């Protein structure tokens, strides 16, 4: 019995990976000045960021239950005996998982298994990749779900933003933390704790923040890394430079991925993210 993997567009997975492994991606919708676009379909990342930086007011909404039901139904039509594992952005950041739950009930809950990644960006993408590996190896749906949920707990996201404007606008972090950061002119390293944005560290400058990021990476490397990735909005050169330095230091594989519009709208265009999935302890 085949296990099919579904996710949402906030996973930021490269299109080549999605096509190669047959992952179904249900797009969220991003808006600019009230006009909505399907994430990754109706507007390119670069065009979205160009308009956002130019002053357009951004917004977003999750997929509808009907869109999830359609995605699940298309898989079951091709493979009526299939099991589906559907992994999504943190339920504390988006209503996407709730829509997936309702969509699942519309097609038959027995076929669809939902996983809350408690994360965003490649913090979703890496559990998806882990689920794909297990499914392609012939694991049962129970083992795919268990493996994905375990990888969720081993996946850590750290990011530095140049401006709190977008995070403050979206209410993704406490106003007190934003006020303190603005007054003290610090460059905090942010993370996700139990699915919500939190402060990992409070360095005072971007240079010191980068040094602290390297210390965080080194700590994880010592434990063992299954996946690592670097994410950016408009600052591709910075992310690629960071990746090159990582390769020089550790000689480990990694990926670089642009942050898609819905997440970019929440964190802003100038962001450097480091996402690490630790290897399973032996």
Look up the CATH number of the domain holding residue 122: 3.40.50.10170
Owning domain of residue 22: 3-152
pLDDT at 120 over 90: yes
Whether residues 145 and 169 fall in one domain: no
Whether residues 121 and 239 fall in one domain: no
Whether residues 148 and 208 fall in one domain: no
What is the pLDDT, as a whole number, of residue 16?
A: 95
What is the pLDDT, as a whole number, of residue 201?
A: 85
Its pTM stands at: 0.93
What is the pLDDT, as a whole number, of residue 204?
A: 80
Q: What are the residues facing 61 on neighbouring strands?
A: 29
Mean pLDDT, rounded, for 69-94:
96
Q: What percent of the chain has pLDDT over 90?
A: 79
What is the pLDDT, as a whole number, of residue 176?
A: 41
Whether residues 113 and 212 fall in one domain: no
3-class secondary-structure state, position 124:
helix
What is the pLDDT, as a whole number, of residue 179?
A: 47
Question: Of 95, 130, 152, which residue is a domain's last?
Answer: 152
Whether residues 162 and 118 fall in one domain: no
- Is the model more confident about 199 or about 76? 76
CATH number of the domain to which 162 belongs = 3.30.1180.10
Under a CB-based contact definition with an 8 Å cutoff, are residues 31 and 51 in contact? Answer: no
185 confidence band (pLDDT: 50, 70, 90) = low
Q: Write the pLDDT tens digit of every residue in 152-164.
A: 999 999 999 887 7
Whether residues 169 and 142 fall in one domain: no
What is the pLDDT, as a whole number, of residue 163?
A: 74
3-class secondary-structure state, position 19:
helix
Q: Write the pLDDT tens digit of every residue in 2-21.
A: 999 999 999 999 999 999 99
Whether residues 51 and 177 fall in one domain: no
Whether residues 162 and 182 fall in one domain: yes
Under a CB-based contact definition with an 8 Å cutoff, are residues 3 and 48 in contact? Answer: no
Whether residues 74 and 197 fall in one domain: no
Question: Of 84, 119, 152, which residue is a domain's last?
Answer: 152
Whether residues 166 and 110 fall in one domain: no
- Mean pLDDT score of the chain: 92
Q: What percent of the chain has pLDDT over 70?
A: 93
What is the pLDDT, as a whole number, of residue 245?
A: 98
Question: Of 126, 152, 178, which residue is a domain's last?
Answer: 152
**Number of domains the chain is built from:** 2
Closest CA to 145 of 96, 83, 194, 93: 83
For 236, residues 6+ apart whose C-beta sits below 8 A from its C-beta are 256, 258
pLDDT at 87 over 90: yes
Whether residues 134 and 222 fall in one domain: no
Q: Which pairing describes strands 196-201 and 225-232: parallel, antiparallel, or unpaired?
A: unpaired
Residue 41 dihedral angles phi and psi, to the nearest 5°:
-120, -55
What is the pLDDT, as a whole number, of residue 112?
A: 97
Whether residues 148 and 26 fall in one domain: yes
């Amino acid at each position: 019995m085949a296990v099919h993997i579904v996710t949402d567009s906030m996973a930021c997975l490269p299109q080549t990976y999605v096509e190669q492994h047959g992952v179904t991606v249900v797009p969220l919708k991003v808006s600019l000045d009230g006009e909505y676009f399907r994430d990754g379909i109706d507007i390119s990342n670069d065009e979205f960021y160009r308009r956002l930086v130019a002053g357009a007011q951004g917004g977003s909404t999750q997929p509808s239950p009907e869109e999830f039901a359609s995605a699940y139904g298309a898989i079951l039509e091709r493979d009526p005996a299939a099991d589906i594992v559907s992994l999504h952005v943190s339920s504390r950041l988006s209503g996407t998982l709730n829509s997936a739950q309702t969509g699942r009930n519309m097609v038959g809950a027995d076929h669809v298994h939902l996983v809350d990644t408690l994360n965003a960006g490649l913090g979703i993408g890496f559990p998806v990749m882990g689920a794909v590996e297990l499914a392609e190896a012939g694991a049962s749906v129970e083992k795919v779900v268990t493996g994905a949920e375990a990888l969720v707990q081993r996946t850590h996201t750290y990011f530095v933003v140049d401006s709190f404007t977008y995070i403050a606008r979206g209410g993704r972090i406490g106003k007190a933390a934003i006020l303190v950061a603005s007054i003290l002119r610090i460059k905090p390293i942010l993370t996700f704790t139990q699915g919500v944005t939190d402060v990992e560290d409070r360095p005072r400058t971007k240079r010191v923040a980068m040094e602290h990021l390297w210390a965080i990476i080194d700590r994880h490397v010592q434990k063992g890394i299954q996946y690592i990735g670097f994410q950016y909005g408009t600052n591709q050169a910075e992310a690629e430079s960071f990746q090159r330095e990582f390769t020089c230091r550790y000689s480990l594989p990694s990926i670089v991925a642009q942050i898609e519009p819905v997440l970019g709208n929440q964190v802003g265009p100038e962001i450097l993210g480091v996402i690490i999935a630790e290897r399973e302890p032996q």
